[in-house]
Each structure stands twice: as C-alpha cells, then as structure tokens.
Chains A and B, each alone.
Chain A
Amino acid sequence: MNLVLLIFILLFSLSLFFFSKSRIGYFSNSKQFKLKALPKYYAYYLSLWCALPAFLVLVSWNILEPTIVKNLIFSKIISNSSNEVSRDELNLIFQKIKAYYAGNFTGQLSEVIKSGADQYKRLLSVAASSKVVIFFVTIVIFTSIALKNVANNVHAREGVEKIIRILLFASSVAAILTTAGIVFSLLFESIKFFSTINFFDFIFGTSWSPQKAFVSDTSAKLSASEIKELSEAFGAIPLFAGTAFIALIAMCVAVPIGLFSGIYFAEYASTNVRKFGKPLIEILAGVPTVVYGFFAALTVGPFFRVLGESFGFEVSSESALAAGLVMGVMIIPFISSLTDDVINSVPQSLRDGSYAVGATKSETIKKVVFPAALPGIVGSILLAVSRAIGETMIVVMAAGLAANLTINPLESTTTVTTQIVMILVGDQEFTSAKTQAAFALGLTLFAATLVLNFIALRVVKKYREQYE
C-alpha cells in the first residue's frame, strides 16, 4: 500500500516535471510572457510542491496511525469494563487482539478480544481508506496552489532554493534528532528502572544478579522485602569494575605498543617503512570486532588456559586477560596513528634546537618532542579508553557472564556491554526490571563515553591551537 503510494508520487511528480518543463519552454519560446527563471525551475517548483507535502503526510500518517488505533481500542476496552484496567493489562489485551486479527491466536478466547478484533479490523480499514483520501487531497491542493503560482509567474528559482535550504537544514537537524532519540529512549526506560530501584543502590551496590528479578511487573505494589531484594540484585559496581579492569589490561597492551610504533613511524622510519608499515598496522583498525571476539574466544582464551595449566595456575577459559589482550591489539592502531599525527605536528624548530645543543635523537624525543606532544597523546589515549569501555563483541564472546568482583586477570569478569547484550538478546518483556536495567546501564555507558570524548576532543583541539 505505502509502496504503491510512494511509487505513485514519484511517477506523478516526475511526469509533472517533464510535462511542465516542455510546456513552459514552449510558452517562453512563443514569447507570450517573460519568464522570471529558467523553465526547469518552474518544473522543479511544481514537482517539489506536489511530492513533498504528500510524502510528509504519508510518513506522519504511518508514524501516528498505530498509536491512534491503539488508544481508540484502549478507550473502548476501558469504557466497556466495569473495574479498573491497568496499562499493562491493556497492552496484553491489545497484543492478543492483534494476534487474533492476524489469525495466529492461541489460548483462551474472550468476548473482549473478539469485539476488540472486530473494532481493530474496522479501524484499520477506515484508516487505510482515509489515508488514501487525505493523500490524494494533499496532492491536489498543493499541486493546484503551485500551478496557480506558476501561472502568476512566481519567482520559481527562489522558491525552489528556499525549499532546498529547508531540506538541507532539516538534514543537519537529523544529527540532533539522533542524539535526542538516544537520550529519550535511554532515559525513558531508566526512569522507570530508578522508580523501583534506588539510584545509589544501582551505582554503589556490589552484587549483580538480574536473574533474581523474578518480579516481572515493576508497576505492581511490592513489599518492602521484595524491594530490598530487587535493589540487591542490581548493584552495578562489579560491572563497572570489570569494564574498567578489562579496559586497563587493554591499555597496558595498546599504550606501549601504540606509542612506540607511533614514535618510530614519526621519527625514525624511512619512507618505505612508513608507506608499507602504517597501512599494515591500520588493517587492525579495520577488522570487525566480531572477528577479534572469535579470535579471543577460540584461540587466545584456550591458549592462556593451557599455558596457565602448564605453570600450575588455574585459568578460566573466559579470562579477563584474554579479552583485554585482544582488545588492546584492536586499539593499537588508534593510538599509533594519533601519536604519529601529534608528533608530526610538533614544530621542527624544537627538534633543531635540541640537536644544536648536542642531544641524541632519542634524548630529543624523550625530553623535547614527547613533552610537547603530551596533551595530544593524552587526548588520543582518552579516546582509546572510551572505545575500550564501549567495545562490545570482544567481551561478549570472550569475557564471562557471571559478575564477580576480582582483580585476578586469570578469572572471568563481566562488563557493562556484555550484560546489556545478555539481557536484551532474545525475547524481552518491556515491563521487567531486568530489561530496564539494560537501558540504565546503556545510559551510564553513554554518559561515561560522552564525558571522556568531550574531554579528549577538548584536549586535542586546544593542543592543535597551540602550534597553529
């Protein structure tokens, strides 16, 4: 249905475009009136005014229709039932009505569902026909307005350019809308979560066991002991600690290797080494993270276990060490190429000054170039840290699932991202505290990376200004 309508506007506005272009060209040649713009602008003007409003109507209708239909059915159910119906019950009934309408309903069939399905069917057919009517009315109205304007010899190019500018602006607002969407979706569920679970219990609690959250309906009244039990199930400290720990291991691998290779590329390497070595290392940045996850889970993890066993250590096959090490390898190219850039932008005069007083190359690097480049390097390391804590696939595949507070790299730990994936993969009920907890974790992650990125970008920017 939507596709047919879309194809219709496309074809209609295209034909309008070519038709009006040739007509207006003909008019202007016959010198009946003087045009204010090239004929093609009149054609653009017409087809834009015909297609855009109809398209917007179609999109907003499709977005609003389900909500309106749902609310109409809700109000019917509420007015028909004698006692109070909660929001969740309504949702459940609505799901059943939809399933019955689609013909794959199994279970107890009640009168409410039957009549609801009848109403649903009626509403859908009404909605479909009114959509088509409104769609065509929009096309007719706007096309005729545009035609009248063209007949009055409107400034067509200016009109078209105005529309184009508005479209350009709307596109750049899309970025803000995305952020707003992220914040909205995270906050919406998190607020529900924090209405049952105390914020401080979440941030400072030390035991994480969401499977304990058997109470699926958080809106129901809970007894004091149940609330206490729930808050004990959602202490996120082990997750934060695990995330920080794995990120720390990753940085222990990535920072030395990345820094030294960046310095070598910038200061020592011949052009040939640079030309072939840099892209080779940057392959590491292009490899999808799921590949690293596979590598960590099937190669590195078992390797460490066997190695540990031969030395008499007990190593979990999902050790933090394996996940952290592989994550570190992933991060090497970020640090090395950023370090390379930063060091290259240190002015040559600083080096020359140092050489002139007799310092060797490494002394110059250590005592002059590195301190000068330090802010930029710190910024790049911060960016790398934010990548490490937001990294998902490696830890999902190679780190453990059970939350335990440990600083032993040979044991398994879990991270924020792992828990989000574990909770949300598969079927979820959106009323359970467990699902909402995933969104609360997402919000924390979003906030943490945002702060890190903000600081890092500021540091890097400030540093750049220093030498420009």
Chain B
Amino acid sequence: MNKEQRRKKRYQAEKRFQAYGIVAISLALFFVGLLVFKVFSDGRSAFSRTMIKVPITFDADKLGITNINDKDEVENADYFTLVYEQFIKSYPYSNDKEEKQIIKLLSPDYEFEAKNYFLKNKDKLGKTVSLLLTASDDFDQLHKGNFPRNIPEERRRLSNYQLGIYDQFLKEGKIEKIFNNYLFSKGDSRDPELAGFGGAILGSFFSILVCLLISFPIALAAAVYLEEFAPKNKLTDLIEININNLAAVPSIVFGLLGLGVLLNVFELPRSTALVGGITLALMTLPRIIIPARASLKAVPPSIREGALAVGASRVQTVFHHVVPHAMPGTLSGTIIGLAQALGETAPLLLIGMVAFVVEIPGSPLDPSASLPVQVYLWSESAERGFVEKTSATIMMLLGFLIVMNSLAVYARQKFERKWN
C-alpha cells in the first residue's frame, strides 16, 4: 500500500466516523419525531365528539309531569323511556335484538343529557326539538374512521345492521362532530365517550401544589444552610453525600416510602393528592437543593463581603443580598423539579392514586388520579376510544411540561445576572 492509498483510507475512516455521529443523531431525532407524531396522530380525534341528532318531543304525559313548576316532578321525570322510545323509531327494526342494537348507538348518558336540556328549557314541554345526543364509543370511532369496515362482521364491534343505521344517519345529516368539552370537564368513566381528564388535571394540580409548598421552602433553606452556614464537619459531609444519592434513588423507592411511612405509620388518607404531594415532595427535594446550591455558589463573594463590611449580620447578608441574587436559578431549578414530579407515575401507583375516580376532586384530601396515572389507567383499557383519550392526555401532559420548562428557561435568561 502506498502513501496515497493509505491517506485515502484514513480520510475514508474520517468520513465514516463523522457519518456514525450523524446517523446516531438522526436516529435520536427520528425517535423524538416518531413519538410526537404517534401521540398527535392518535390523540387528535379525541378532541371531537360524535353526536346524533334525535328529534325528541317532551311529551308531558310520557314524562309524567303534571305541574311544570314542581321541581321534584321535573327532576324525577322518566327521561329514559322518553328518549329510548323516540330514538328507536329512527330506524326500522324487526326484533328485540335489533332494537337493542339501535339503542346501543347512543351513549348510556342520554337520559341525563335530555334531562339537562329540559331543565334549562322548560318551555319546550310538549314541543319537538332536535336534540344532539352523544353517540356511543363504537359509533364515535366508526365516524372518526378508526374502525375499518371491510373486515368480517364477527370481528367488528358494530354489526352490519348498525353500519346500515350509520349510513342512513349520515345520508340524513343526523351526525355531527362537536368539540369534546367532556374531555376537559369530566372525571374517569367506564365509557370512553364520557371519560375526561378533568379530574386528573385537578388531582395533578393539587399534588403539585402540595409538593411545591413542602419542597420549595425546605429545599431553599437546606441549600442556604449548606452553602452559607454549614461548618465543614462529618455531619454536613454526610448531608451532602446523602442529597446527591437521594437525587438518584429510583422513584419507585419513594413510593415504597410513602406506602410504608405515610400510609401505614401516619395513617394519612389513601389515594389522595395530599399523600401524593408529600411523596413527590420528598423526591423533588434533592432535585431542587442541587440547582439552588449551584446558584448560591455562583453569587460572587464580593456581594457578601460588601454587605458584611457595612455591618450587616451573616443572616442579614444572606437573606437581603445573596438569596435574592440566587433566586432566578433556584426558581428555574424548582420549576424543572416540579415538571419532573408532574410526569412521575410509579410512586403514585404505590400510594393508591390508581383508584377509579369518577368525581372531580375538590381538595387535596379527596381521592383523585393524576395526569400520568390517567395515562396508565386508560392505556390498560381495551376500547379503541381510550387509545385516543390516552394520547390526548399525553398531549395535555406534554403541553404542561413544555410550558413549565420554557418558563424555567425564560426565568433564568431574563433575570439571572452575569457576574463577569
């Protein structure tokens, strides 16, 4: 091999090496893209809800209402039979089985939807209105195009008969897609079309609030102590090593801590945002202490010396001068720590925040889910409707995380002072 060939080979090796790097980066970016694309393409359709237009006559006799001003009577009227009887008339049927198939196209909540409408429009008594009622999950998915129609009937969730009804309704213009406000306002449900992450958002909010209230003051105080006051001895060394190790302990171990200590020893209420928040706070603590210490360390000694020189005490120096300068870095560290806590699932599973909660929690002491736990719960369900709901929840979660992280970056860039 002569010089020329050898050089050529070496240059080729150089090119190959660079190509490996580019391939690696493109692979990583490909995964990012795939993840985001998959979530968005699956979750987009969850934001709309399929409704069926049904002409309903609010017949006083059928409802059993004799006096429209009697609150009890209006509340307890028989909306179920009213809607049922009028809806099944919308398509010809020949036997009980087909009758059942027709009514299954509506979500089981139809009686409440009719009731809510009537309570708001009492003047409609005896009149016919065309009411928009939520369609069942299967119908919804069919309309959104998530169910293939060309597979054999026994493998489909909708029968040929029901597909016939769908085509008929479509021709008559009875099907409408509206914005899915249930997704944001409702709690969990066994029926995908009625399930929402409203309860999970509030549960997440409460647990992050508890987490913030506990972890931020303690972490800031600990960072100030370690950076500004701690004498150099065995105890403070131990605390330091401890904090570094705690930051790397797997999150599920904190779940075991919450279960073993908070639930079993202190007997705090299970499944609540309070316990979730405390558990997350213990996990977040070292993750805030570390950036807080770093930003305290970045404040130049001249600031401290200046304050001490004009007669301020150590505590005054720290709280009047050093801590305010370290605040931007500490706050951005806190926000990032909270963002991690918001996405955390495993510890919450162990302290029982996986319960099926229909009610929207009103306080941190109510049983609740949280956004990531809702993702876990729904991803275990078989219905196609929950797949899009799960993706929509992930979109929501990622949205919150992006907002929090950009806030952290903004806080740092806008307010942090460069000292040199």
Residues on the A chain within 8 Å of B16, using CB: 362
Assembled-state Cα–Cα distance A383/B247 (Å): 12
Task: Say which residue of B27, B32, B245, B346 sits within 8 Å of A421 (CB atoms).
Answer: B346
Is there contact, CB below 8 Å, between A425 and B350? Answer: yes
- Decide if B397 touches A288 in the complex (CB within 8 Å): yes
List the A residue with the shortest CB-CB distance to B404.
A286
Is B256 within 8 A of A439, CB to CB? yes
Q: Does A205 make an interface contact (CB < 8 A)?
A: no
Q: How far is the CB of B243 from chain A (nearest CB, A)?
A: 5
Encode contact with A along B1-31: 1 for CB under 8 Å, 0 otherwise.
0000000001101101110111111011101
In the complex the two chains form, is B28's CB within 8 Å of A332's CB? Answer: yes
Closest chain A residue to B319, Cβ basis: A164
A263-B21, A277-B25, A329-B31 known; A179-B245 Cβ under 8 A: yes
- For residue A410, CB closer than 8 A to chain B, the reply is no
Query: Which of A176, A446, A449 interacts with B239 by CB under 8 Å?
Result: A176
Instruction: Contact check, B372 vs A290: say whether CB atoms are below 8 A apart.
Output: yes
Stretch binding the partner chain, chosen from A78-86, A104-112, A141-149, A384-392: A384-392
Minimum Cβ distance to chain B for residue A452 (Å): 8
User: Any chain A CB within 8 A of the CB of B209?
Assistant: no
Using Cβ atoms and an 8 Å threshold, which residues of chain B touch A150?
A: none
Point out the residues of chain B lying under 8 angstroms from A442, CB to CB.
Answer: 252-253, 256
In the complex, which of the residues B253, B261, B266, B285 has the most CB atoms of chain A within 10 Å of its own CB atom? B253
CA distance A292 to B17 in the complex (A): 30
Chain A CB within 8 A of B354 CB: yes
Contact B38 A299 (CB under 8 A): yes
Interface segment out of the listed A7-15, A120-128, A182-190, A347-355: A182-190
Contact of A185 among B226, B238, B260, B267 (CB under 8 A): B260
Q: Are B256 and A186 in contact (CB under 8 A)?
A: yes
As a 0/1 sequence over residues 292 to 307 of chain A, the CB contacts with chain B under 8 angstroms (1 = contact) are: 1111011100000000
In the complex, A209 has a CB within 8 A of chain B: no
Q: Which residues of B contact A173 (CB under 8 A)?
A: 239
User: Which of B97-105, B137-145, B183-191, B216-224 is found at the contact surface with chain A?
Assistant: B216-224
Neighbouring B residues of A265 by C-beta, 8 Å = 25
Do B24 and A392 have beta carbons less than 8 Å apart? Answer: no
Residues in B whose Cβ lies below 8 Å from that of A421: 252, 346, 349-350
**Most chain B beta carbons < 10 A, residue from A172, A284, A393:** A172
Q: Per a CB cutoff under 8 Å, which of A165, A257, A333, A396 touches B229?
A: A165
0/1 string, A160-171, CB within 8 A of B gives 1: 110011011111
The answer, yes or no, to whether A199 is at the interface (CB within 8 Å) is no
Chain A: residues with Cβ within 8 Å of the partner, total of 90
Q: Are B252 and A175 in contact (CB under 8 A)?
A: no
A424 at interface by CB-CB < 8 Å? yes
Total interface residues on B, CB under 8 Å, equals 84
- A287: Cβ under 8 A from any B Cβ: yes
Q: Are A281 and B32 in contact (CB under 8 A)?
A: yes
Q: Are A165 and B260 within 8 A (Cβ)?
A: no
Residues of A within 8 A of B192 (CB): none
Chain B residue contacts of A333, Cβ below 8 A:
28
When the two chains form the complex, which single residue of B38, B229, B256, B372 contacts A288, counting CB atoms closer than 8 Å? B372
Q: Which residues of A contact B289 (CB under 8 A)?
A: 175
Chain A residues within an 8 Å CB radius of B398: 287, 291
| Chain B residues with CB below 8 A from A280, complex form | 29, 32
B112 interface residue (CB < 8 Å to A): no
A357 contacts the other chain (Cβ, under 8 Å)? no
A440 CB to nearest chain B CB (Å): 11
Q: Are B256 and A293 in contact (CB under 8 A)?
A: no
B136 within 8 A of A: no
On chain A, the residues within 8 Å of B272 by CB distance are none
Within 8 A of B (CB), among A256-283: 256-261, 263-265, 268, 277, 280-281, 283
Cβ of A453 within 8 Å of any chain B Cβ, yes or no, is yes
Q: How far is the CB of B363 from chain A (nearest CB, A)?
A: 11
- Known contacts A172-B222, A288-B401; A182/B315 CB under 8 A: no
Complex CA–CA separation, A46 to B324 (angstroms): 26
State whether A281 touches B25 (Cβ < 8 A): yes
What sequence of 0s and 1s flags, for each residue 339-356 of chain B, a beta carbon within 8 Å of any chain A beta carbon? 100111110011000100
Given A178-B285, A260-B21, A287-B35: A281 and B28 within 8 A (CB)?
yes
A residues near B28, Cβ cutoff 8 Å? 257, 261, 281, 284, 329, 332-333, 336
Bound-state Cα–Cα, A164 to B314, Å: 11
Give 9 new A-B contacts, CB below 8 A, not counting A387-B250, A449-B253. Answer: A165-B225, A257-B27, A286-B405, A288-B342, A290-B373, A294-B375, A396-B349, A421-B349, A449-B249
Question: Could you pull out 7 A-B pairs where Cβ atoms are within 8 angstroms?
Answer: A174-B222, A258-B24, A260-B20, A281-B28, A362-B13, A424-B256, A457-B245
Residues of B within 8 A of A (CB): 10-11, 13-14, 16-18, 20-25, 27-29, 31-32, 35, 38-39, 217-219, 221-222, 224-226, 229-230, 236, 238-239, 242-246, 248-257, 259-261, 264, 266-267, 282, 285-286, 289, 313-315, 339, 342-346, 349-350, 354, 372-373, 375-376, 379, 387, 390-391, 394, 397-398, 401, 405
